[in-house]
Amino acid sequence: MIAANILSNNMIPLRTSDTGDEALSIMSDFYIKHLPIVNDKQLLGLLSEDDILENDVSEPIGSYHLSLQYPYVREDNHLYEVMRLIAELDLTVIPVVDRNQNYIGMISLQDLLNYFAQTGSFTEPGGIIVLEVQRRDYSLSEIARLVESEQAAILSSFISSSLDASQSLVHVTIKVNRQHTSSIVATLQRFGYEIKATFGEREMLDGLQERFDSLMSYLNV
């Protein structure tokens, strides 16, 4: 799960001699709003659609001022870091460099979503349970022990909480390898866990598909 594993194969970077019009045309073809500018193997920066529209679109992009502060990831960065930077900077693509800072490719938001959508966390059948836990009491190993006591296993987990560190509650979402989760829920409740929601496999898949379709529609605008 590193950046080098999911480089886009069908997109090429811009050159400084390309015009704003040419860059907009490529962005439109791939439904993206960013593209890296590369000179041979040297990454010069990341051009955004807004940068183009604030300049003369007939001029070479090498003359443009770039608003983004040279964002990139290294080829051995974990995909969580790739996802963090894409979300933090609101990017549609991010350049990837090797250990010598040479440009080797780019990763699009759609590439990232497709990769995670094909992992076992999404494709394996099962049910979802959302728990509310005191931050100080959270222990994934304890939750896993209780789930396993019902002859089930956790396929994936996700923790969400407020950015405010003073908030004492966190929500723990677990996916288990069983669609019918009533006995697991009963065990968790017996040990003091508050269950906020449960979702069966079909409901989960329908919800994920709806969100994925909405995102794809947004990217295709």
Question: Per residue in 48-95, pLDDT tens?
Answer: 999 999 999 999 999 999 998 789 999 999 998 999 999 999 999 999
Domain boundaries, the chain: 3-116, 121-213
What is the Cα 63 distance to its own chain's centre?
32
The fold adopted by the segment(s) 121-213 is: VC0802-like (3.30.2130)
Please report how many Cα atoms fall inside a 13 Å half-sphere around the Cα of residue 66, on the Cβ side. Answer: 17
User: What's the confidence (pLDDT) of residue 163?
Assistant: 47
CATH number for 3-116 (one of 3.40.1190.20, 3.30.590.20, 1.10.490.130, 3.10.580.10): it is: 3.10.580.10
Across the beta sheet with 73-74, what order do the strands follow?
73-74, 93-97, 103-108
Query: Are residues 79 and 1 in contact, defined by beta-carbon separation less than 8 angstroms?
Result: yes
Q: Which has more confidence, 6 or 206?
A: 6
**Residue 117, phi then psi, degrees to nearest 5:** -65, -25
- pLDDT score recorded for residue 148: 96
- What's the confidence (pLDDT) of residue 81? 93
Q: CB neighbours (10 Å) of residue 66?
A: 14
d(CA 5, CA 198): 33
Closest CA relative to residue 109, chosen from 220, 208, 194, 195: 220
